[in-house]
């Protein structure tokens, strides 16, 4: 429903404008606001019925000021720049899982019809792509993340050759192939063999924050306080010259085990804990994803032993991936959708 005030403003613009296209748009809105059908408006103004609906619906959505601007800004296919702006806002605030749903929203909102493929082309043009949503724990606390960032920043700012920083975590890759996206000839399938077992390989690891080729990976029966102590001991032996070894980890129970904590007190190791529900702040998580991409997702291993050997080989030859890892394992972390931090 258009207000009396807006009708008077439209009439004023109708009398002033010398632009025939804008005159037709304004007149269309005025006529349809009086209950005149789109068919009659079409006949009277010489515009299509779909254009009549589109002008009226567009005014209802964008209002007086933006409606007048649509005639002067660029167009993206059938939608004006203002309508594109509204569409972008809608897509940013709501989830649409297929192009048909977006096309239906466009038709309901602007009275403009798009085919599903036309909708895909439109979305690509205005900067949207089809990809997975990102899971974010609802328990995540930004204030705790900021406190951690402050602590970590001070460590990195004062880091010299007398100290080293490792990110710690455990990973449990399952002995089985995983389907992945790949370039496959049209009309064909690329079949990947799988095994029926669910055996896992347990890796307790440390990643040097400043040297991506410095990875300590311990293949162990179980990731617990004992294997973590063994892992820390390996870090001490590898860095005899440093005075302090910072270990940044999540809050897994084995990192906070009382026996381990007592042992750590007598060493050069200083434990730093990432806030709960913030795995994105643990750099080594990216290394595990890279491991899956290079070793697990693209190869088939008949036995668990072959699977274990492939993982060990990956870590033994970690320097072969140095250039890729230096791009991936940067100390740049996203705290929120609009904020990131670099150490």
Domain locations in the chain?
Answer: 4-125, 142-180+194-342
Per-residue pLDDT tens listing for the chain (343 residues): 788 888 898 999 899 888 888 899 899 999 999 999 999 999 999 888 888 888 888 787 777 877 776 544 444 468 887 888 889 989 988 999 999 999 999 988 888 889 999 999 899 888 898 888 877 777 778 888 889 989 999 999 989 989 999 999 999 988 876 677 777 778 888 777 777 667 889 999 999 999 999 999 999 999 999 999 999 999 999 999 999 999 999 999 999 999 999 999 989 999 999 999 898 999 999 999 999 988 887 788 888 899 999 999 999 999 999 999 999 999 888 776 556 677 7
Contact 76, 126 (CB under 8 A): yes
The rounded distance, in Å, linking the Cα atoms of 32 and 55 is 10
Q: How far apart are CA 234 and CA 247, in angstroms?
A: 13
Quote the tokens at residue 32. 């349809």
3-class SS of residue 14 = helix
Strands (E), the chain: 75-76, 79-80, 163-171, 202-208, 215-220, 244-249, 269-273, 332-336, 339-342
> Which pLDDT value is given to residue 73?
41
| Angstrom distances, CA of residue 211 to CA of 2, 207, 249, 286, 322 | 64, 8, 17, 14, 9
Query: Distance between CA 132 and CA 143 in Å, rounded?
Result: 27
CA distances in angstroms from 298 to 219, 291, 328, listed in the order given: 21, 11, 19
**In the CATH scheme, what is the homologous superfamily, with its name and number, of domain 142-180+194-342?**
Ribonuclease H-like superfamily/Ribonuclease H (3.30.420.10)
How far is CA 247 from its chain centroid?
Answer: 27
What whole-number distance in Å separates Cα of residue 128 and Cα of residue 16?
Answer: 39
Count Cα neighbours of 269 within 13 Å in the Cβ-side half-sphere: 29
* Cα–Cα distance, 262 to 13 (Å, whole number): 80
Q: Give me the pLDDT at residue 177, please.
A: 66
pTM: 0.65
């Amino acid at each position: 429903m258009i207000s009396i005030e807006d009708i008077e403003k439209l009439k004023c613009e109708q009398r002033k404008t010398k632009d025939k296209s804008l005159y037709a748009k304004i007149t269309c809105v005025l006529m349809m606001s009086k209950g005149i059908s789109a068919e009659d408006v079409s006949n009277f103004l010489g515009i299509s019925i779909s254009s009549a609906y589109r002008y009226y619906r567009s005014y209802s959505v964008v209002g007086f000021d933006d409606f007048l601007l649509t005639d002067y800004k660029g167009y993206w296919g059938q939608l004006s720049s203002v309508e594109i702006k509204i569409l972008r806002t809608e897509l940013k605030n709501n989830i649409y899982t297929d192009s048909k749903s977006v096309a239906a929203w466009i038709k309901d909102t602007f009275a403009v019809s798009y085919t599903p493929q036309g909708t895909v082309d439109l979305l690509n043009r205005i900067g949207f792509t089809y990809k997975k949503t990102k899971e974010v724990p609802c328990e995540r606390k930004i204030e705790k993340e900021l406190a951690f960032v402050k602590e970590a920043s001070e460590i990195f700012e004062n880091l010299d050759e007398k100290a080293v920083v490792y990110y710690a975590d455990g990973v449990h890759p399952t002995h089985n192939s995983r389907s992945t996206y790949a370039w496959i000839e049209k009309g064909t399938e690329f079949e990947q063999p799988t095994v029926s077992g669910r055996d896992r390989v347990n890796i307790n690891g440390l990643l040097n924050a400043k040297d991506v080729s410095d990875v300590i990976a311990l293949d162990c029966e179980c990731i617990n306080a004992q294997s973590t102590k063994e892992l820390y001991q390996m870090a001490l032996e590898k860095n005899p010259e440093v005075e302090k070894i910072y270990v940044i980890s999540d809050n897994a129970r084995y990192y906070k085990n009382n026996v381990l904590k007592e042992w750590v007190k007598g060493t050069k190791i200083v434990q730093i804990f990432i806030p709960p529900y913030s795995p994105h702040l643990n750099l080594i998580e990216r290394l595990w994803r890279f491991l899956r991409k290079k070793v697990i997702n693209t190869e088939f291993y008949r036995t668990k032993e072959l699977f274990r050997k492939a993982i060990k080989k990956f870590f033994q030859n970690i320097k072969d991936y140095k250039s890729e890892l230096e791009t991936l394992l940067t100390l740049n972390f996203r705290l929120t959708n609009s904020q990131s931090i670099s150490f």
